[in-house]
Structure 1
């Protein structure tokens, strides 16, 4: 298989970084990928966002990069492609691509940058511009193969070998949604009812946005008998969400986090997106969730209703991403000469 060096430019935000890692994982289905990650910090943000769109294509690449970004020294092999997500990485992405004379991919809104700034621009909705690659599913680094071993070890270590486990992944206020302590208590009571109705126990992972008060409300209302294992992020931020996904039969995730929804879908198990809290998802998130449900990648549920049936899914991310990868490689002018296009899988989760 042909080798490919991928430079992932990160702003340090987990959601953006996971999308970029996910795209590197996609490329890894066609190439022997080596990934290097470079975390950058945009300086003087207000000024930079005004100036950089005007000069990013013409100013000296490395001098401009070092003037406007805080970044470590570049090390390792020269990249074959640059990948990033998140607006604060977009200028660095373009400057690095110019410096190394390689194609680049940006995930998400390109904002004030010209369409030609990126060899490929990955979005969930079509922009109608050259270089745009529309993907029905957001890239995710999670795959069944990647999480299988750690999940098996987790189950054995905690004595869960034969137990039925479901996962609840909690986000928090953001993307149009807000959560009070009462909302988290409502979710916990809903989880109690589901555990009793379906004979399962819960794996639970909160996140930075859940907050300590949200965690306290969950812990106070969720019955101990129904909770097999919990990651309380504000107390002990264990980064084992992928392991928990692998250990669970079915995956539930709050409606506010596109990145966590994408990761759950990437695990290729039945996924339910849970509506709880105040407000409604922002329009772009709402469109994406509606699309995922329409394609059979997830089911929408609400804490206002009892969970009568365990969620099932009708499709997997692998079924839908291959055409997007084909288009992406065409935009990047990359030819995996020794690799074959993976076969589509039939069927869905358990």
Structure 2
């Protein structure tokens, strides 16, 4: 079978283009792919104005040139366009109109129309929806079958993990962390180490406050303390969570980041989300977490309630995926867009 020419539009944000890479990786489970990249940033243009122009069928070539600085004539014609992130919406539609390519977007459409996409995948598409919109776990190119894990039994009551993973984020919109939240969370690490013998690999994120990261870094220097190692993204860079997913038997993740939660679920680990006192999810985020919980992949608790016993109980309720999420996503894509998997699509 010939390779499927795929164009990934990127706004330069890893949290977005990694979603596109995950979709391409799922397709590659069933057929060869050839991936090209194109930067798509709308600069100072308002998304609302662009949606108005696109919805009124304004010249796609002019939008691409004027707004994004993209010359369609210099792009090899793809059979599939993939993008994620609001900045790429208009470029995705315009290139699909010019090339006739199938187009997929991951995320929220804002003022754009689902009919302008072959498929929209969303973490927020729960309940009645459009026929071109489907709910999906946030994708990743990570193949959990390739994670060389030990054969430890799943953790739960009476079976504490030898090594846990703690993924910490930071303030995000209506989710705000106070000093008491961090004190309680790190106190839990100490308590779980004393009561259960569990040690922790801790990883921060770009939104983690510098003083919090600095405190973890200092604490990790204690040889016999609860922190086995600290992966500091300020130095380690993107993609550094793989070490956590290989070595940890369970993951504790601050609930400000549905992306971090999703990555740990994708790695087929039991995940417990923890939230600060000042926490309010948007209806969309609330719906996504309900979707994760209803599937048995995730539980959530307030940081203030966290104890070693509660941690084991909640982790024991989680049933990680047994199949490969890449294959699961490939099945969804084949169901919705069978033409991508035909011999003639290359």
Q: Tell me if both proteins adopt one fold, taking TM over 0.5 as the criterion.
A: yes
User: CA offsets, 1:133-155, max 9 Å, x none?
Assistant: 233x222222313544xx89xxx
Q: Give 1:183's aligned residue.
A: 181
How far apart, CA to CA, are the structure 2 residues paired with 1:7 and 1:302? 42
**2 CA distance for matches of 1:299 and 1:71?**
44
Equivalences for 1:109-124 in 2 at 5 Å?
109-123=108-122, 124=125
Query: How far apart, CA to CA, are the structure 2 residues paired with 1:33 and 1:246?
Result: 27
For residues 259-318 of structure 1, the C-alpha deviation after alignment (integer angstroms, 9 at most, x for no partner) is: 111111110122221223522222211221122122111222333230312624324174
Match of 1:20 in 2: 20
CA distance in 2, matches of 1:299, 1:320: 19
Q: CA 1:293–1:106 in 2, change beyond 3 Å: closer, same or farther?
A: same
Partner of 2:253, secondary structure, is strand
What TM-score do the two structures reach when normalised by structure 1?
0.81
Tell me whether 90-99 or 55-64 shows the greater mean CA deviation. 55-64
Unmatched tracts of structure 2, length 5 or more: 151-160
Tell me by how many angstroms 1:109 deviates.
Answer: 1.7
Structure 1: which 5+ runs fail to align? Answer: 153-162, 339-350
Q: Are the aligned partners of 1:245 and 1:267 in contact in 2 as well (CA < 8 Å)?
A: yes
Quick one: distance in 1 between partners of 2:52 and 2:128?
Answer: 19
Report the TM-score when normalising by structure 2: 0.82
**Pairing of 1:1-350 with structure 2 (within 5 A):** 3-46=3-46, 49-55=48-54, 58-70=57-69, 78-123=77-122, 124-126=125-127, 128-135=129-136, 137-148=137-148, 164-219=162-217, 224=222, 225-234=225-234, 237=237, 239-303=239-303, 304-308=305-309, 309=312, 311-312=315-316, 313-316=318-321, 318=323, 325-337=330-342
CA–CA distance in 2 between the matches of 1:192 and 1:70? 53
- Could you tell me how far apart the structure 1 residues matched to 2:15 and 2:147 are? 18
User: Following the alignment from structure 1 to structure 2, what is the Cα–Cα distance between the partners of residues 257 and 71?
Assistant: 32
Other structure's SS at 2:83 match: strand
Aligned to 1:348: none
Determine helix, strand or coil for the equivalent of 1:245.
Answer: helix
Q: Which moved more, 1:105-114 or 1:139-148?
A: 139-148
Contact 1:191–1:222, Cα closer than 8 Å, also in 2: no
